[in-house]
Amino acid sequence: MRQIKVQCPAKINLTLKIIGKREDGFHNIESIMQTINLYDYLTISIENSEKLRIEISGTSDKIPYDKTNLVYKAAELFFDKKLGNYKIKVFIEKNIPVSAGLAGGSTNAAGMLFGLNKLLNEPYTREELHHLCSKLGSDLNFCLEGGKQMTTGRGEILEAMKFKNFNLSLIKPEKLGISAKEAYSKFSEKLKNNKNGRKKYLNDLEWGLIEDYEELKTIKRLYPNSIMSGSGSTYYLINEGFSPLNGYWIKNNLEAIPYGIREY
């Protein structure tokens, strides 16, 4: 049996502008993304088997451990290239909140592709890994590379930017998770009904969502400089911290990091 432990960082969106809707149903964006030192960890093991078997377990009761998990889909996609039959076990140590706009699912899936590639002596080139990432979701390519990147297209086209370290803090309503589908749908609906355009937010999705959730309005009222990450419901502050607030998950004293997925 071979085994690897993979470190999968969360991301924040320093900016997120929605350029327009695409023919495939997704949206074109321009977003500056940044990885941070909040990590999930994947422990992946493989051994020879008569057929491909994938088993997932982990520490969180908020994610599925079946075929609907993006990590499972990543493993299936990886073995589309006939590489032999293996029994794959992956244990997910979950520290990144779920449905939080921090790319927890995407970074885990990118970590699965990275880890399997290492375990099997890199049958895929880095470019081919990025191709697999783009098939699975919009944030995986960024999660694989990390650092500070301008992302365009659906988010899969990367342009590295000069990294600058900074401190940050996160806050998230404990009982509120927002899917990307909901966030983009509400943005589109609001834009259709607001012909005069959108208010100036660094994240367009925050403009699309904030009036629908008292929890988000509470964060913005208490911390006017806070910015929503991705599709929410997490907000962040740069070089500041959040005070304890009942019903909210808070993580202070984090840092930006210049890397993405890596072996731990």
Is 11 considered catalytic here? Answer: yes
Is 89 considered catalytic here? Answer: no
CA distance 238 to 249: 17
Residue 234, burial from CB neighbour count under 10 angstroms (0-12, 13-18, 19+): buried
Let me know how many helices (H) and strands (E) the chain has, helices first: 7, 11
Among 83, 81, 79, 85, smallest CA distance to 47 is for: 85
What torsion do the CA atoms of 20, 26, 31, 33 make, to the nearest 10 degrees?
A: 170
**Element (H or E) spanning 229, and its range?**
none
Among 263, 260, 31, 38, smallest CA distance to 158 is for: 31
Which is catalytic among the residues 21, 89, 139, 190? 139
CB 85 within 8 A of CB 49: yes
CA distance 160 to 168: 21
CB 228 within 8 A of CB 205: yes
CA distance 236 to 23: 32
CB 103 within 8 A of CB 32: no
**Element (H or E) spanning 1, and its range?**
none
- Catalytic residue list: 11, 139
